[in-house]
Structures are given as structure tokens and as C-alpha cells.
Amino acid sequence: MAKIRETTSKFIKVRCPKCKNEQNIFGKSASDVRCLVCGRSLASPTGGKAKIKARVLEVLE
């Protein structure tokens, strides 16, 4: 199950729910963030904050 969570943090380590790739993404990304391995959408912009559509493993301040 993909978790949908909003965050204001800077960098977030997430795991792709499809291929299990771990990737650091920017929490305030203004554009769609996609998995570097399989291309699945991991986060999408929602007015300043990114909506995370993957499992959050760690928040990197």
C-alpha cells in the first residue's frame, strides 16, 4: 500500500512501492518526482508541498 502524506521537510528518503528502489526526494518539489529505476510517480506537487506517494523511510533535515 502506498502511503499518501504531505510534508514540509526538505529531503525525504522513500522506497518505491513498485521496485523497492530507495531514493531521496525533495519535499517541496515543484514538479513530479519519479522513481529513477522504474519511472513510477513517487511525489506530485500540491501548492508548495509535495504529496508523497511512496513509503517514507526517513526524513533528512
50 neighbors 7 (Cβ within 8 angstroms): yes
Residue in 21, 29, 41, 44 binding Zn ion, rule: CB under 5 A: 21
**Residue choice 6, 10, 19, 60 for contact with Zn ion (CB under 5 A):** 19
Write out the binding residues for Zn ion, residues 34-53 only, by CB under 5 A.
Answer: 35, 37-38, 40
The smaller minimum CB distance to Zn ion, of residues 22 and 58, is found at 22
Q: SS3 for 41?
A: strand
Gap between the Cα atoms of 1 and 6, Å rounded? 16
Residues 59, 7: contact at Cβ < 8 Å?
Answer: yes
Binding site for Zn ion (CB under 5 A): 16, 18-19, 21, 35, 37-38, 40
